[in-house]
A and B are shown apart, each in its own frame.
Chain A
């Protein structure tokens, strides 16, 4: 390929081939619940922090699956751990511990 000395702006398309599968599988080892999400949005809708700034476990999980770690961590950084999402999750996911684990595993890198 010829190098023109300048790059094209990166595609906005998520390239699933290049996503970081390793960390996500590490997450699944401790949090198999992460696979149970059906993206209903209950957690985001009831989120106490979400009133102030975009906070969404649902969206964070999708971002992690797509390899967008920074976005995911941003979406969880305002979490106040109040537990409303655990109460409303129709799949019975232990959302609070899932958020803790995501922070632990992904903040480490």
Chain B
């Protein structure tokens, strides 16, 4: 102790803190300083790049949103909930949520508390880089000596909090290590294969906190400590005597930190820094315009490669198709592997489950769509013939309701017949927009990345609908519903899926139904559920007309039927396998029949299902109360 005090800079603060090193500098901080400087520069360049590639309009939007109080509050809330606590993971997989928040929130608190400590007890070190502002708060415990007589309550509280959060982080790290061995214990069936940079960063991350514990344990008698570091210090002393040879652990601690920051941009851990930026941009309402630049780049680098999308992806029924999951898509985008990126982009069913379950909220389906756009949008098309003559529109031309069946419903006549029967029994007059066929809604073209062509189809349909003078546009296909809702801008016309409309009719008493004994399970079609958030209305109706059973996974976790128009290249065999797994998921509680509300799901299930598959309108139709 005395030897140490000789070299000390003797300025005792009221709290009894003394700087042990005159310049507050030791060579061991170098690796950390190099690492942190590198990451700061890298991040700044990245930020400028992303902002540069945003359109001027988007930049303005971003700026306005950051300074709008409402979005600013939302930004702070989202950053706190999504980046630190990760409420999204907590909700679905509590243990995994604990693991992540222990590491993220714990580490964050260590940094924040460390800085507060310095600000309170040695504020001059935060003044400038020359005073060690970059590293001093991180290695605070190394640089000070605290006279035990001067220990205050305030000081002890910080010692306790620092030890507490270190323990919190360590518990998370222990879980993370266990997860590497047995991921299923934390609720993950599939995990990603880590790349080299991932491994370097991962092992550094694992090492950082145990090393910190060791390092602070060595110095606990000099710089203070609490329930964790003090006993450790006592233990070290009884083993190593009074020898204070602790510098190597501080070196190692610094090296691990430095290496971690150096590997960071090339590893999955980049998400720690990019996720807040993504949240700001998303809350500003930005959308993917180009598949790699601007907003998309922020999304790509915000992917934490956690692999939760592997369990979510309907492709996971076959191991060979796991490679089409979003996590690999984004990894190949980062590596600029054009061939693989294109293949994955075209294969995807665009069911949106990876996006719904992504803890970071990376909208990879939209990036895929943008990627398809680059290769498909320049293909020529000719929709002039659609103006030459208009198809006969049937029904009562003065009716308020226009029913647009859509292309696919024409291959499932039962749906059309049931919808029209229900409308008639409710005494509703309607215009049948496309009994003889009509212009496609444009959603398939959008999904294929042929945006210009889609826009032309949309404008033609829009004209037809606006001219009809209807007040409600009724749809039986979720694919149509999604595009009419999102991309049409039909002014005052209410756009309703038939599940919503029939629910309304029943609630208003305009349609009377009886409760039957059929037990059913409801399948949430991707475009209706995840796409438009319609979950409750169909369930309300089904509960009124029969016994509704639960699927193993439902609502936003529902599994695609495999028939999605979103995929451009998936073959029938693989689609069939996906349908089978979706049916297995639905029949967990042995229902008598599967009910869905989409012509595509209806067709895919009917090919494979061992139990009857019915359309939503069909079961409603079967249960209409006859007068």
Contact = CB atoms under 8 A, between A and B. Distances in A.
A30 to B, nearest CB: 10
Contact of A100 (B437, B440, B448, B572): B448
Interface string A37-53: 00000000010110111
A10 to B, nearest CB: 26
Contact of A83 (B389, B391, B565, B569): B565
Interface residues of A, number: 24
Interface string B422-451: 000000000000001111101011001010
B380 A52 contact: no
B109 interface: no
B571 interface: yes
Nearest to A80: B440
Contact of B572 (A92, A96, A103): A92
B383 interface: yes
A94 B571 contact: yes
B457 A80 contact: yes
Given A53-B385, A80-B440, A100-B448, A87 B457 contact: no
Contacts of A87: 408, 411, 603
B445 A81 contact: yes
Interface string A71-109: 000000111111110011000101011001001100100
A89 to B, nearest CB: 10
A48 B438 contact: yes
A51 to B, nearest CB: 4
A97 B407 CA distance: 18
Given A51-B437, A92-B572, A96-B448, A83 B408 contact: yes
Interface residues of B, number: 35
Contact of B411 (A51, A52, A77, A84): A84
Contacts of B450: 81
Contacts of B385: 49, 52-53, 78
A88 B453 CA distance: 24
B408 A84 contact: yes
A77 B440 contact: no
Contacts of B383: 78, 80
B392 to A, nearest CB: 11
A16 B159 CA distance: 89
Interface in A51-70: 51-53
8 contacts: A52-B389, A77-B380, A78-B381, A78-B382, A80-B457, A84-B410, A88-B411, A92-B571
Given A46-B411, A48-B439, A92-B572, 16 more contacts: A49-B385, A52-B385, A52-B389, A53-B385, A53-B388, A77-B380, A77-B381, A78-B382, A78-B386, A84-B408, A84-B410, A87-B603, A94-B568, A94-B569, A97-B569, A100-B379
